Amino acid sequence: MSSSSISTEIITNKIFIIRGQKVMLDRDLAELYGVDTKQLKRAVKRNIARFPEDFMFELTQQEDNTLRYQFGTLKRGEHTKYLPYVFTEQGVAMLSSVLRSTRAVQVNIAIMRAFVRLRDMLSLHKELAVKLKELERKVEGNTGAIRDIFKVLEWLRKEEEKPKGKIGFHP
């Protein structure tokens, strides 16, 4: 996969929410960077001071199992004996300084754009939710008036249906 063909949608599908943070798995990042997961982890361990807990953390066994169940059953040999690392947006940005290749820089740019796009989408959803709540409050305040309008409309309809006397002179 060339770095120019990496779409924001592909990257967005590799972003998960774990412990309340948007993160990417080490194996997904390694695939995007075109390196082995083992190589990526080795580079991170050599520069561990650059990756505090809010940039990167190791999953617990339970979190790893939960992710496995989401992906479906894995074939024999497809899982590792080590727990995966996950990287927050800041951790992904730090990876470009650890993995010093042209591809790493290009992939990081694409990943940063995906995180921004995701943040914008979440912001838009929050704005829509707020506007819906406001609309609900406005409608709730007007239910009495709307009920009165329907009563008047019903009364007018009934008035129209009443038999009317003939117009004109009757001997």
Candidates 154, 110, 107; CA nearest to 8 is 110
Tell whether 96 is covered by a domain: yes
**For residue 103, is it within any domain?**
yes
**Count of domains for the chain:** 1
- Name the residue among 23, 35, 33 with its Cα closest to residue 67: 23
Whole-prediction pTM: 0.61
Domain of 10, in residue numbers: 3-129
The CATH code of the domain that includes 62 is: 3.10.260
pLDDT in tens, the chain (171 residues): 444 457 777 888 888 888 888 898 999 898 888 888 898 899 899 999 999 999 999 998 888 888 777 665 555 455 567 888 999 988 888 887 788 777 777 788 888 888 888 878 777 777 777 777 787 777 776 777 777 887 888 887 777 666 666 777 766
Is 59 part of any domain?
yes
DSSP structure class, residue 2: -
**Would you say residue 38 lies in a domain?**
yes
Q: Is residue 168 part of a domain?
A: no
Query: Does 41 map to a domain?
Result: yes
* Helix ranges restricted to H, the chain: 8-12, 26-33, 37-46, 61-71, 89-98, 102-141, 143-161
